[in-house]
Amino acid sequence: MAIPRSWLFVPGDRPARLQKALRSGAEAVICDLEDAVLPTAKADARREVAAFLASERPAGSPPLWVRINGLASNLAGDDLDAIVPAAPAGVVLPKPDSVADVARLDEMLAGREVQQGLPVGSIQVLAVVTETAHGVTALPGYVEHPARLVALSWGAEDLSAELGAVKNRDAHGDWLFTYRLVRSLCQLAAAAAGLPAIETVFPDFRDLAGLQKTAAQAFAEGFSGMLAIHPDQVPVINAAFSPSTEQLAEARRVVAAFAASSGAGAVQLDGRMLDRPHLQAARRLLEMAR
């Protein structure tokens, strides 16, 4: 699976916005049944999302994902009953306390896939793994995970509420220490599990310069994509998570240098010593471009 650079959240009870999202340039659209939908509108949102998933869409439309309600809410089963018949590309799982919640979701999806005649495992999962304190402390457990889990992301707002924090950013808009730590732990857990890490949302959708800075930094640090909350954020994210012409040219030179010294553990290039991690990084950039 090619991991999307941009993942756009859209409230599930806003059909006009769902249709607009198809033209946003987002590489994945997440129909939201959780935080963007009031408790009194959950049933209506399920019906709207199910109809949207089953509708005919223009050629080249992005894959459709659904953020269900967390397993502890007792709403997830109803969410899955509504959406699995329409075979979404994937499910976003919020607030897991550990990889055991992903395993439980895996079983819930598998049973419904069988009932609907879908291949078991065809609906993938993105887990937002830092929204509870238990979730943060259980991050090492993702080393072993169900095959349908394809990426990890992180979030700060629900964790802030659980910690009793009145803010999670400083006066400059940068994450406070706890949230920088949690972000890094999510990325490390994803790498240990062999999964891509997806950067969390940038809440000020009017501050595109701030978004560009944040997205470019996330790309430089090794994140594979980013969540978005507004269509205007999508082009900025797509550009930030695209290797530049100069980066690709340098990556090709690194790969070529190793190819010319077959079997060598290290090579020289422009007076620099490069070893296998440099080759791995170059190949990753080239793969992202493909």
Q: Are 102 and 126 in contact (CB under 8 A)?
A: no
Average pLDDT rounded to a whole number, residues 147-172: 95
Do 178 and 77 fall into the same domain?
yes
Q: What does the pLDDT read at residue 270?
A: 84
pTM score, two decimals? 0.90
Average pLDDT rounded to a whole number, residues 250-270: 79
Q: What is the pLDDT confidence band of residue 268, given thresholds at 50, 70 and 90?
A: confident
Do 170 and 262 fall into the same domain?
no
Do 156 and 280 fall into the same domain?
no
Domain that holds residue 186: 6-240
Least confident of 51-55, 102-106, 263-267: 263-267
pLDDT averaged over every residue in the chain = 93
Rounded-to-integer distance, Cα 67 and Cα 9, Å: 8
Rounded-to-integer distance, Cα 164 and Cα 237, Å: 31
Q: What is the pLDDT confidence band of residue 283, given thresholds at 50, 70 and 90?
A: confident
Q: What is the pLDDT confidence band of residue 275, given thresholds at 50, 70 and 90?
A: confident
Rounded-to-integer distance, Cα 161 and Cα 289, Å: 38
Number of domains comprising the chain: 2
Do 62 and 172 fall into the same domain?
yes
pLDDT at 229 over 90: yes
Do 259 and 126 fall into the same domain?
no
Do 132 and 260 fall into the same domain?
no
More confident residue, 35 or 281: 35
Rounded-to-integer distance, Cα 14 and Cα 21, Å: 11
The partner residues of 226 in beta bridges, in order of sequence, read 6, 199
CATH of the domain at 31: 3.20.20.60
CA 182 to chain centre: 16
Do 155 and 282 fall into the same domain?
no
Average pLDDT rounded to a whole number, residues 61-84: 98
Percent of the chain residues past pLDDT 90, beyond the cut: 82
Average pLDDT rounded to a whole number, residues 30-56: 97
Do 88 and 188 fall into the same domain?
yes
pLDDT digits (tens, 9 = 90+) for 168-194: 999 988 999 999 999 999 999 999 999
Do 282 and 183 fall into the same domain?
no
Average pLDDT rounded to a whole number, residues 31-36: 96
Q: What is the pLDDT confidence band of residue 1, given thresholds at 50, 70 and 90?
A: low
